[in-house]
Chains A and B, each alone.
Chain A
Amino acid sequence: MAKPIGIVCTGLTVRFSTAGVPVLHDVDLDIAAGEQVALLGPSGAGKSTLLRVLLGAVRPVAGTVRVGGMDPFQRGQQRSVRRATGVVRQRDDLVRGLTARANVLVGLSHQWRAGDWFTVMRGRVPQRFAERLAVLAARHEVEDLLDARIENLSGGQRQRIALVRALLPEPRLLLADESTSGLDPARAAEALRHLRTAGATLVVTTHDLAVARQFGRIVALRDGGVVFDGNELTESDVRDIYGSIEVLQEVSA
């Protein structure tokens, strides 16, 4: 298993338009290698954007990011950051028109050799990855789904395929963006358990207090700023995060 890597962000500010309100504002975040963190906050708080910044997909207007000591905005280092990271998102982001098997293998495309392109095109698994894929597919109960095209799978099945895609390259950092919200409670708990036992540094975004409370460390965002960083959320902390207790009751209902 590859060694986990840490994250250091200082003074991160992200704006999508020059005049607009910042989506992230002066965010400092230090996550040690191997740590497991819940990133909590209401919709629009900037959680997903923060994850995209870590991958070098959204450029901040100010601040620095280091993932495993590497800068995701440096040409040479961006790929290393991305190859060390596994991502699972709530949004359905598997490629339609391909089989589940091809989707899963594409997560490893940087490790392919020339011949592997044709192997994958023919619907097979390159020898070197076969065992690893078989183990993961069995663990996540997707063996029977690998031949299916993505458009023919249910939301929950796709979520499991996306999870296998993220885990197959044995990532050193796992970023899960509301990855359990499309699943029923039993599946969600199981998916979370798989993420937590993958041996990687883990950042899980969620708007669900119950999910966040399973983590030893909770970082809460609101309106693009960190409003809480600790392990015990009090009622007043929750009020700070969600704005009002009425909303909180709606959320937990």
Chain B
Amino acid sequence: MSSNTTPRVRIPAQRGSRETPPAPARRESRTGLRWLLTAVVAVAAVWSLWSTDVGIGSLLAGRDGAARMIDGLFPPDMDGELLSRVGIAVVETLQISIAALVIGAVLGLPLAALIAGNVGAPRWLAIPARLVAAGLRGVPELLWALLFVATVGLGPAAGVYAIGLHGAGLLAKLCSEQLEAVDPAPVEAVRVTGSTKTAVAVWAILPQARASIASQLWYQWECNIRSSVIIGFVGAGGIGQALGIALKLFRYQELATLIITVLIIIIAVDRMSVSFRARVGASTSDTATYTRTSLVQRLLRPSRK
């Protein structure tokens, strides 16, 4: 339908049509605002670097300590007794990360379903779910770990609770976004058959988001491994605890072995991620939309064509 042949034709308003472009005066004021923002960011950056003593000077001042430490790292300790302790710590780290993923998924996925707007959970459930999720992820893992070390004591259980709770909050948010990102047309199609909200969620929303949620869970597991190394420092078990002890006792050769082990774990998990994502992505690469991905994830994902 061309409007030049029939001037009477009214073109119906497009859904979601954009506003008219901004007038020149408004555009100018926006340019000014952009300059101001750039200046503020630049000042904040310089001021922060200056005040925190970052620079060549502070690095040079610490060169003796660094040299002593690097010198101490070599050769890494390959003592059999140590290696068997490291092996046990690695297993414990994996156990912590998997157990935390279970807790995170069991708590986080139902929260995600309640939060997702297109699932349409009643407000009296959706709002508390949103608050709980925000609270869980708002408290850093390290803080959770300190709290749990103080309550359940030193050891892997504290680590599992800490990583699991924080992960539940993250999964709730990220997976609810995956649920909301599905194609709405099939969802409406199922809804207008008179299905219940639960049926719509289970049979129209979830199947479309399944691959991206699986990918999200995998990424959370990767994060859990990294986190368990960090929070091990406060006594929450795993290889992190061993790292913390070696560092505090100045056993640098042992530290070197542990650092190498951590690198091997992380590289191994990354390699596993490649094949996992290739399999999950292949079936649904056209529907899966990832709203938030790690750099590693983006680099590892096979290019989509």
- Chain A residues near B196 (CB-CB < 8 A): 109-110
Interface string of B235-275 (1 = CB under 8 A from A): 00000000000000000000000000000000000000000
With contact pairs A16-B13, A97-B211 given, residues A87 and B192 touching in the complex (Cβ less than 8 Å): yes
- Chain A residues near B191 (CB-CB < 8 A): 57, 82
Chain B interface, >50% SS class: loop
Instruction: State which size class the interface on A falls in.
Output: 35 or more
- Chain A residues near B210 (CB-CB < 8 A): 97
- Chain B residues near A17 (CB-CB < 8 A): 13, 17
Interface stretch among A39-47, A132-140, A229-237?
Answer: A39-47
Q: A106 an interface residue at 8 Å Cβ cutoff? A: yes
Chain A interface, >50% SS class: loop
Number of interface residues of B (CB under 8 A): 37
Whether A243 pairs with B5 at a CB distance below 8 angstroms is: yes
- Chain A residues near B1 (CB-CB < 8 A): 42-44, 242-243, 247
Q: B293 an interface residue at 8 Å Cβ cutoff? A: no
Interface string of A56-100 (1 = CB under 8 A from B): 110000000000000000000001111101010101111111100
Question: Chain A's nearest CB lies how many Å from the CB of B105?
Answer: 19
Q: B68 an interface residue at 8 Å Cβ cutoff? A: no
Whether A82 pairs with B192 at a CB distance below 8 angstroms is: yes
- Chain B residues near A80 (CB-CB < 8 A): 194
Q: A176 an interface residue at 8 Å Cβ cutoff? A: no
Q: B135 an interface residue at 8 Å Cβ cutoff? A: no
* Sampled A-B contacts (10; CB under 8 Å): A16-B15, A91-B185, A96-B186, A96-B287, A97-B208, A102-B203, A107-B193, A108-B193, A110-B194, A247-B1
B interface residues (Cβ-Cβ under 8 A, vs A): 1-2, 5-6, 8-13, 15-17, 183, 185-186, 188-196, 199, 202-204, 207-208, 210-211, 283-284, 286-287
